[in-house]
Structure 1
């Protein structure tokens, strides 16, 4: 009896090992990778951690996360070759277009590519201990902003635009990182901050000062026209899962993609193909990490639009899975062409600036003027 039990246990263990080995043989990944992500406390960090854990357990790939609260901090390791992938926000659009911080002379248009991007919603929350009910109540209140984070800045500016406001209409409170801003909100030091529904800090606020979402209803066409004028990235989205949100109490927010798994255009096509395949095969292992993780299913995360074009390796796998279509191809080709145009304009602007003796400090303003007057 005892011997029989031992034999059965050993056989089961062997079968499990063989099954894992067969599963791992379906993909080829580096033994180690470095990913960047949003900082601790963000939904992006939680999701990156869950994916990394699944890839480690099922494919033996060790992933080290390097979190940062700023766009530069997330992208610089990628550009310098110190990281292979990053879970990014809208900063990849700004980096591709050489805008905001990426208009600096030592940056310029970056050739980035997306593997997958989770559908998301973003908006403003107000402390439950305030009397702020709608975006129209925001004039004069304190609103959190993050230094060197154009993604969160755009989110806030677009939400303010919904009510016909700009950052000049509120009290801007600057923070060195996204996590610091969220901690200040939980502590009651700032009235309003931009967040996604899965941010862990909202659970802390829920247990303390409380909070409420500032809805941006899709039927408010004038408000949404102002958002579109500020950025075409967003569209109305009703969110039913997240902190302070349910089917019976949805939030009407700005829809976009976050996080977006990002790499360089020069990344190896086979490696990208295998990583997307591995994320697809291991999806059951990480899909329950938070309420938004089910949206990483490829049918949701593997379609356009996104902050940057999709990588050819990702497209190859998505096409095999029947997810990528001609409409996605058309969008991708158009976005790549736009980046190439920006790169050409940048090169021309650099030549003219050098000939005119434009300083690095004066370059960003020169670049914006040059782009506006030479747009193709």
Structure 2
């Protein structure tokens, strides 16, 4: 599905959280207490999770504790172990669903996770203006930045390159130890291009430097390019950006739309519980819509529909249908994403049956098995 946006194993039984239900208000029933995992204190994800929790607590008879963590495993493990019911997550949902990166180990594997809501956001790739690049294809042979231990950034960079018909083999891969180091390398002419959030302070610094910046476009009419990009990351869609470094209403740029953060849970969480929480958040929207510059993008109409990093939960879909937001196009995306989940989980089981090595060698074996047995 290509919608234009302008602006696991094991299966867990997650039932009965919070013991008794809170008093119903506006036809909503919530548990008396909840725990949500989120990004670390000080991050945008934590700030928005806290703002939403406070708004819901202010309207309904429930108490919510936000549990921060600076790692993907640290955010998802409490959900798997049933110490938390929900999580404000990012691309770890995609990796967990696919059983890759941190989740390629024998004690994790593909996780049966689901999205409830996801705030629309955007990201793209910038090139130093002195390259005179006008498209992603112009990065052939150029120095493109990657970050060790940052699979979220790296897989998006792979998607940018794919849009332009390129792979890592077609560019000069330059690896750094941190995201900030990429920005410094662009400015000091040690790097030519990097993934970037348009409203970030790093983008402003590069724009103001002697090299300047150019945003490379991902026009929605380039359907072949979008097919290649979404073969890498199924959670992307065209997004018309009108604010940011070098961007305004008169000079918009088409970037990759995605969801950050996403409120998520496991598929085994009851439909009723998810439905009620989504409804409560929607009814509490006025209480957090101005909490951050981006918080208004949590409006349910845009946050409860695909694409996202994992399939949507049945409880969220129920509410989306009730409100008239769920379309045939959304259902087609959901069906395809569920089929992918089934295929990945089946491949994991088949690979485990075929493997006779130790735990240390499993991730490499699984990666090779995926490449051979799983189409994009």
Larger % of helix: which?
1
User: Can you give the 5+ residue segments of structure 1 that lack an aligned partner in the other structure?
Assistant: 1-20
In structure 2, relative to structure 1, the CA distance for the partners of 1:31 and 1:202 (3 Å cut) is farther
In the alignment, which residue of structure 2 is the partner of 1:230? 232
Match of 1:283 among 279, 282, 285: 285
Return the index of the structure with the highest Cα Rg.
Answer: 1
Question: Displacement, 1:185?
Answer: 2.9
TM-score (norm 1): 0.76
In the alignment, which residue of structure 2 is the partner of 1:358? 357
- Partner Cα distance (2:110, 2:77) in 1: 13
In structure 2, relative to structure 1, the CA distance for the partners of 1:52 and 1:195 (3 Å cut) is farther
- Partner Cα distance (1:200, 1:288) in 2: 20
Q: Which has the larger displacement, 284-293 or 134-143?
A: 134-143
In structure 2, relative to structure 1, the CA distance for the partners of 1:208 and 1:67 (3 Å cut) is farther
In the alignment, which residue of structure 1 is the partner of 2:196? 195
SS in 1 for 2:359: coil
The size of the alignment, in residue pairs, is 345
In structure 2, relative to structure 1, the CA distance for the partners of 1:249 and 1:63 (3 Å cut) is farther
Q: CA RMSD in A?
A: 3.6
- Partner Cα distance (1:362, 1:332) in 2: 34
User: Can you give the 5+ residue segments of structure 2 that lack an aligned partner in the other structure?
Assistant: 1-22
TM-score (norm 2): 0.76
In the alignment, which residue of structure 2 is the partner of 1:262? 264
- Partner Cα distance (1:308, 1:75) in 2: 14
Once the two structures are superposed, the pairs formed by residues 204-353 of structure 1 within 5 Å of their partners are 212-220=214-222, 223-224=225-226, 226-242=228-244, 244-325=246-327, 327-353=329-355
Question: Displacement, 1:207?
Answer: 7.8
1:198 and 1:291 in contact (8 A); partners too: no
Once the two structures are superposed, the pairs formed by residues 1-376 of structure 1 within 5 Å of their partners are 26-37=28-39, 40-41=42-43, 43-59=44-60, 61-68=63-70, 70-125=71-126, 133-134=133-134, 135=136, 136-137=138-139, 139-141=141-143, 143-147=145-149, 149-167=150-168, 169-175=171-177, 181-182=179-180, 185=183, 191=191, 192-199=193-200, 202=203, 212-220=214-222, 223-224=225-226, 226-242=228-244, 244-325=246-327, 327-353=329-355, 357-371=356-370, 373-374=372-373
In structure 2, relative to structure 1, the CA distance for the partners of 1:214 and 1:82 (3 Å cut) is farther
1:29 and 1:275 in contact (8 A); partners too: no
- Partner Cα distance (1:217, 1:326) in 2: 24
In structure 2, relative to structure 1, the CA distance for the partners of 1:285 and 1:368 (3 Å cut) is same
